[in-house]
Amino acid sequence: MPDDAAPRDPAEPDDASAAEEASAFSHPPVEPDATAAYGDHPDQVIDFYAPREADPAEPAAGAAPLVVVLHGGAWRAPYDRRHITPFADFLARRGFAVANVEYRRGSLIPSQADGTEGTGGGTGPVAGRWPDTFDDVASALDALPALVREVLPQADPRRTVITGHSAGGHLALWAAARHVLPPDAPWRTDRPAPLRGVVALAPIADFHIADKLEVCGGAAAQLLGGPSVFAERRPYADPALLLPTGIATTLVQGRTDIVVPQAVAESYAEAAAKAGEVVGLTLLEDVGHFPLIDPAADACAVVAEEIAQLAW
C-alpha cells in the first residue's frame, strides 16, 4: 500500500481488506511485449513480458529466469489476466522474463450439460469450468517451452518458476503436481515438470478446508462442478491430495487475509509434511490478500525475493 495510507485498524478488517484491494486494482493494466495462443479459444493465450534492463547499455549476462503467472479471481469470468499485469510488469522490472497465462473461467450462468448442478441457481458468476479450466492450464504449460523459444528468446525455460495468486495459487500448485495425479487423469504426466519451484500466493491450496470455511463463496466446490461431485473430483484437483511433488514449493500468506484465510495454507503445509515433503510457509504480519500482487506494497517485494531464491 502507499506509504501515506492509514494504518490498518484491527477492529475493522473488512475496511482494511477493501483498502488493500482498491490499492492493488488501482494500477493501470500493462500491455505485454508479445501475446501467443496455445489453443483456439479466445481465453487460451499467454502474454509475455521481456525482462527490463536497469541500464539498456549494459544488458544482463545470459537469459533471464522465466516466471509463469497464473492469476486469481476465484476462477470466475469477471476476473481475467488484466488485473495482474502490473504484478507481471513488476517482476519484469526485477529482471525476470514473465509469462502471464489466461485460461477459461466460470460463466455467468452455470452449464449443467454434464449433469452437475453448478451453483444451483445461475444468478451469479460460477467458479471455473470442469474440465476446461484444468485442460487449459495443462495445455498452456505443455505449449510454453516452444512459445518461449519463439516469442521470448530472452527467457531461460530451464529456470522456470510458477507463481499464482489465490485461485491462481491453486492452479500453480496443481500444475506442479500433474505427475502425481491419479493414473486415469487426462492431465497426468509421466515425470515431474522441469521447474525450479512454485511460489503460491495466498493459494486455495486445500479444498476440504476451503469448502469448510466457504472461501470465495464456495468456489472450490463450484470449480469441481458442485457438491454432488466434489468428493469424487477432489483427487484430480486438490493440491493437498497431490503430494509429495518433489518440487521446491513456498507459500506466501498474509496473516490478516480474510479472503483466503491462513488456515488454508497451513493445512496444505501440514499435508505436505505428512507426505514427507517440506514446504516453505512465509507468513507476513499485517498483510491481507491483495498486497501480495500490489506493486505499491512491501509484500510484493517479498514475493519477488521468494521467486528469486528459487529461480536464480
Pairing of strands 197-201, 280-284: unpaired
Encode the chain (312 residues) as per-residue pLDDT tens digits. 233 333 333 334 578 999 999 999 999 999 999 999 999 999 999 999 999 975 444 445 579 999 999 999 999 999 999 999 999 999 999 999 999 999 999 975 544 444 344 433 344 689 999 999 999 999 999 999 999 999 999 999 999 999 999 999 999 999 999 999 999 999 999 999 999 999 999 999 999 999 999 999 999 999 999 999 999 999 999 999 999 999 999 999 999 999 999 999 999 999 999 999 999 999 999 999 999 999 999 999 999 999 999 998
- Cβ partners under 8 Å of residue 152, min gap 6: 33, 34, 48, 50, 66, 97, 99
* Predicted pLDDT at 107: 78
* Predicted pLDDT at 108: 57
* Predicted pLDDT at 113: 44
Long-range contacts for 176-181 (Cβ within 8 Å, ≥24 apart)?
176/245, 176/247, 176/249, 177/239, 177/242, 177/243, 177/245, 177/247, 178/138, 179/245, 180/242, 180/243, 180/244, 180/245, 181/236, 181/242
* Predicted pLDDT at 1: 28
Rounded CA-CA distance 234/217 in Å is 18
Rounded CA-CA distance 309/107 in Å is 37
* Predicted pLDDT at 14: 73
Pairing of strands 155-165, 64-70: parallel
Q: How far is CA 125 from CA 42, 73, 107, 258, 304, in A?
A: 19, 11, 6, 20, 31
CA angle, corner 44, sides to 38 and 50, nearest 5?
Answer: 70
